Structures are given as structure tokens and as C-alpha cells.
Amino acid sequence: MKKSLILNRTNYLRLSILLLVAILMTGCGTTTIGESACPPIKKYSKAEKEEIRKEVGKLDKNNILRDVVSDFINLRDLVSACHTTMKK
């Protein structure tokens, strides 16, 4: 009898933690006023994207700006994914 009481307390604790995490996670998707929590993202035209590609292509292979642009592209992809997720 005592063993089942311990299991029930353990299960109760696990359930409580799970519910707490679920409640805390609900705040990750939107702001308090219901707007998207995703940062805004600027739209570039095809011509602008092509110009950027050409300019980056002119840089030396070891130029730090290549890494910076690569990081920027990755961040834009993450923001786009955030917006896509929020629309669902």
C-alpha cells in the first residue's frame, strides 16, 4: 500500500511539471496583445537578391563579409520559418 502511494506522488509531480512546462511554452508563440512574436522581415526583389549575390561573389574567399552574409541568410531563414509556423 505504501509503495503505490509513492508512485502516485511521483506521477503527480511529473504531471505537475509537465503542465507547468506546457503553460510556460504557450507564451512563446505570441505577444500579450496577440501579435506575432516573430521579428519583421524585409522582402527583397529578385533584382536586389541578384545584385547581392553578384556583390558577394566579388569578395575574396577569406573575406569576413562572406561569413556575415551567410549568418544573415541563416537568420532570415529562421525568421521566415517563425512566420510560417505562426500562420498555422
What does the chain look like in DSSP terms, one character per residue?
-HHHHHHHHHHHHHHHHHHHHHHHHGGGSB-TTS-B-SPP-----HHHHHHHHHHHHHS-TT-HHHHHHHHHHHHHHHHHHHHHHHH-
Per-residue confidence (pLDDT) for residue 32, from 0 to 100: 52
Query: Does residue 63 sit in helix, strand or coil?
Result: coil
Question: What whole-number distance in Å separates Cα of residue 7 and Cα of residue 79?
Answer: 43
Query: What pLDDT digit, counting tens, does each position of 44-83 carry?
Result: 899 998 998 899 999 888 988 888 898 898 898 998 888 8
Contact call for residues 76 and 40 (beta carbons, < 8 A): no
